[in-house]
Structure 1
Amino acid sequence: MLTVDFARLPVGPGVRVLDLGCGGGRHAFEVLRRGADVVAFDMDQTELDSVKSMFLAMEEAGEVPEGAHGETVHGNALEMPFEDASFDKVIAAEILEHIPDDMAAMRELLRVLKPGGTAAITVPAFLPERICWALDEAYHTAPGGHVRIYTLAELQAKLKATGFEIGPHHHAHGLHAPYWWIKCAVGVNNDDHPLAKAYHELLVWDIMKRPAATRIAEAVLNPLIGKSVVLYVRKP
């Protein structure tokens, strides 16, 4: 399940990409499949171990184009172990909402990006996120959880103040917002609730089969209740 639109953030052979806060590696895997070099960066070593294993499995399965390379690096987004201007592209998907000093992370992102390089920044969209917070306090108070709700204007203003040129944006995962509202309504940790389980099965089916009906529904819902907003920015 990709949040970033790679038509807007093109990657390929000869491009070095940082997946900042890579989590399970969904974007890093897609970058590698497209032939670019990718560094999957995260604080969670367990996640990184899983990503590294998948990189190896992709190579063994012949899914990695010749010359492309994927690696994992453990560290903190506020003090990344990379030289200035190390990357052509950066992906920061669903990470800034977890960081108390988000502008420090933005400055680090700017530092490691090459002049003229572009980045895709994704955060939970305001309305779906606000509803989740209202329905269940546990959704955002768990350790390592979300510490703020961004408006698009706030995200744009902070990135502009950091030094980025602001580009286009779009919303993603319109079908996923109702799932999280259901989860929060029945208890965010109540994975066994019949309604939550049924909706989760629908989402898995959609991800695996990509039927036309749900693709059309998501395209309609994205601008209205898309769970994520994706902003593309450039380093001058």
Structure 2
Amino acid sequence: MCVPATWSPITAGCCPLQTVDRCHFPLLPGQRVLDLGCGEGRHAVAAHLHDGADVLGIDLSLPDLLTARSRHGEFRRNSDDAMFALANASALALPLADDSLDAVICSEVLEHIEDYRAVLQEIRRVLRPGGLLCISVPRAWPERICWWLSRAYHDVPGGHLRIFSRRRLQAEITGMGFACYYRHGAHALHAPYWWLQCLFWRTRGTNALIRQYHRLLVWDMLDKPRVTRTLERLLNPWMGKSVVMYFHKRVAT
């Protein structure tokens, strides 16, 4: 997603800057939370500062981890008691004990990983019975338009390796011992932005239309005007750039 540098995780909560909607993914102070593929830390930082959770963010990109650490430092309070840690590690071999986490966030990650099923197995291993899992991936039909408009959009190192069917992915995760209790779309206003990026891929850095749309997205995220919030809420169920699924790990009987 396109996130302005001035965003504040303290006021994030259930806002458009967060793919994960904490209205459906409640975290409590002191809970152990993993943000897997945390990138620049928008979910990890919010989970720590807004929810008071003990957070570990894991990513393969050192520059992204440094940005996450910097963002956390900008907003943290001296009185913070919860743990916040970042690690450069692989999702295929998490440096965590079995059943050691209360919640896992894996947002916009699986489409980048060849053996995504092995990642899901690792998540299952480290998440305690009854623990919460949030998975988000690009919605299939907006993603297909991006692939059709520009091969370079996905055919780059670290790009998207596949287009997920939401039904199939949900069924796979359910078959691993999870129960899905909610799902929704997110970031509908971002879908046209990425279509424009793909359509004008070679000149995307200087294209005036893309710059203007970017300004719209920044205005939407910072000011949260009623018109764009209402429009995105109406469009998210069928046009959201991301599809977000919430699960809990079944307790063995």
What are the superposed Cα offsets for residues 65-99 of structure 1, whole Å, 9 maximum, x if unpaired? 64222110110001111111111000000000001
- Structure 1's consecutive aligned runs of 4 or more residues displaced over 6 angstroms after TM superposition are none
Say if 2:59 is the partner of 1:45: no
- Give the Å deviation of 1:133: 0.5
Query: Cα distance 1:29–1:188, how it changes in 2: closer, same or farther (>3 A)?
Result: farther
Residue of structure 2 aligned with 1:71, choices 79, 85, 88: 85
- Greater shift, 81-90 or 43-52, is seen at 43-52
1:155 alignment counterpart: 169
Residue of structure 2 aligned with 1:26, choices 36, 42, 55: 42
CA distance in 1, matches of 2:60, 2:52: 25
Residue of structure 2 aligned with 1:108, choices 114, 122, 125: 122
CA distance in 2, matches of 1:163, 1:122: 18
Does the 8 Å contact 1:103/1:162 carry over to 2? no
User: What percentage of residue pairs aligned between the two structures are identical?
Assistant: 45
TM-score, reference length from structure 1: 0.95
| Aligned-partner SS, 1:138 | coil
Residue identity opposite 2:21 in structure 1: D
Does the 8 Å contact 1:136/1:188 carry over to 2? no
2:18 alignment counterpart: 2
Q: How do 1:1-236 and structure 2 match up within 5 A?
A: 1-33=17-49, 34-59=51-76, 62=77, 66-187=80-201, 190-236=204-250
Does the 8 Å contact 1:35/1:65 carry over to 2? no
| Aligned-partner SS, 2:114 | coil
Does the 8 Å contact 1:15/1:36 carry over to 2? yes
Does the 8 Å contact 1:173/1:222 carry over to 2? yes
CA distance in 1, matches of 2:205, 2:125: 40
CA distance in 2, matches of 1:55, 1:182: 32
What are the superposed Cα offsets for residues 131-151 of structure 1, whole Å, 9 maximum, x if unpaired? 101110001101010001011
- Give the Å deviation of 1:49: 1.7
Q: How many residues of Structure 1 are paired with residues of Structure 2 in the alignment?
A: 233
**C-alpha RMSD over aligned residues:** 1.3
Does the 8 Å contact 1:110/1:235 carry over to 2? yes
Stretches of structure 2 that go unaligned for 5 or more consecutive residues are 1-16
CA distance in 1, matches of 2:24, 2:203: 35
- Greater shift, 160-169 or 114-123, is seen at 160-169
